Amino acid sequence: MQRTLTMSNRIKLSAMMFLQFMMFAVFWGALATYVTNQKWDSMKPWILSTMPLGALASPVMGMIADRFYNSEKVLAMSNLVVAVLLFMAGRASGSTEVFVYLLLALLFYMPSWGLTATIAMANSPAEQFPQIRVFGSIGWVASMLFSIVALNLFGTTIDGTSIPFYCGSAVAVLGAVVAWMCPATPPQGTSRKFSVIDALGLRSVALMKDRNFAVFMLVSMLAMIPFNIHFAFLSDFLAAKGFKLLTATNYIGQAGEMGFMLLVTVAMRRFGVKWSIVAGLAAMVVRYAAYYLGAGDMMPAIYVGILVHGIIFGFFIVGGQVYIGKTAPADMQGQAQGFYALMTFGVGSLIGTFVNNAMINCYTTRNAQDLLIGEWDKVWMISAASSVVLLVIMTLLFNPKLETPNASSSNG
């Protein structure tokens, strides 16, 4: 069935993406620095693991949307819960409290990345999804305005403090309202007999029988280990190099992402799914090579590494969501997108958080200003080398059949 996208639905879906990613970006970008400033060293990998731990709930939430309730209503209720929990995280004063509130908040939030993809692709052609998803990137970039306004109007920086939690809470309330207004996306799997596999949201694991799907999932999971060090720990590196507006500098990459996201559709039509995803992995190699140079005397290279984030996220992550949307059956879309989120931002990022934290601790030390200084060049060299290996594996072993824009359009 060929889906059409009305202007009304385009506006609603775009606003959904904008707020959904803003509510997370506003507090996550400088979270590592906040934890470092609080000197919660022993809890740091656990607090930064709340995102991947939260993604573990993605298949379950996808199952609920596939079988029981409209996806937009599940998203709206989840956002309200997130708003309350982020507010409580802002009020918390101890590392354990912050960890618990953030973990609970992200158990409800992280499944939204799959849910928003499900809602958008259920109400528009899969190839137009990047045009809607780009508003998530715009929301991500717009989140840095909170810190810029605070600095310019009040002469203070909120990066590295608890204030961003309150900002995220407020945006989550707006996100709940917008989600409720989104086009109805009823469950498609209500006729299927319920099972324990459904209860765990793991029916989509059956898709792993396809070799290309399995290669894509496994490489994507492993690729999140080097991806995670930018996503979770970049603010520590930027602080060590003397940057002040950590969130704003970090999110320059999301500004570039807005343009690259619009190219995903064109690239998939012209070059196919495989080479679009491979291009995203190649950009990750460029990122860590640039950070390696930036760790030395070539400071401008750091901006290159940040700017290519748009290619990585747009072509690799969002391109992957499009691939899932075109591959999974209609009655399994929520679970399949949730399974992708589980394997990448869940399992892969969880492993990456602890591996990268250990690697950073191995090569850096805390100075008198609580900055992590040391051999960052070795950190980035290892990240670049692992990215090269994964790029080669994906290039050689991933050969999907969905290489034309009209292929299997009824499935995604």
The larger pLDDT score, comparing residue 229 to residue 206, is at 229
Would the CA dihedral through 268, 270, 273, 277 be positive or negative?
negative
Residue 403: pLDDT band (50, 70, 90) is: very low
At position 68, the amino acid (one-letter code) is: F
Domains observed in the chain: 7-186+201-400 (1.20.1250.20)
Q: Are strands 372-374 and 364-366 parallel, antiparallel or unpaired?
A: antiparallel
Q: Which residues contact residue 366 at a Cβ distance below 8 angstroms, ignoring those fewer than 6 apart?
A: 372, 373
The larger pLDDT score, comparing residue 411 to residue 148, is at 148
pTM of the model: 0.74
Tens of pLDDT, residue by residue over 328-362, are 887 777 778 778 888 898 899 989 989 999 999 99
- Rounded to an integer, the average pLDDT of 143-148 is 79
Q: What is the DSSP string of 103-119?
A: HHHHHHHTHHHHHHHHH
Count other Cβ atoms within 10 Å, centred on residue 45.
19
Least-confidence region, from 14-18, 48-52, 194-198, 284-288: 194-198
pLDDT above 70 as % of the chain: 91
Q: Are 105 and 51 within 8 A, CB to CB?
A: no
Most trustworthy range by pLDDT among 25-39, 205-219, 278-292, 397-411: 278-292
- Rounded to an integer, the average pLDDT of 72-95 is 94
Please state, in angstroms and rounded to a whole number, the distance separating the CA atoms of residues 412 and 405. 11
Q: Report pLDDT for 271.
A: 86
Altogether, the residues listed in the chain come to a count of 412
Would the CA dihedral through 277, 282, 287, 292 be positive or negative?
positive
- Rounded to an integer, the average pLDDT of 31-35 is 84
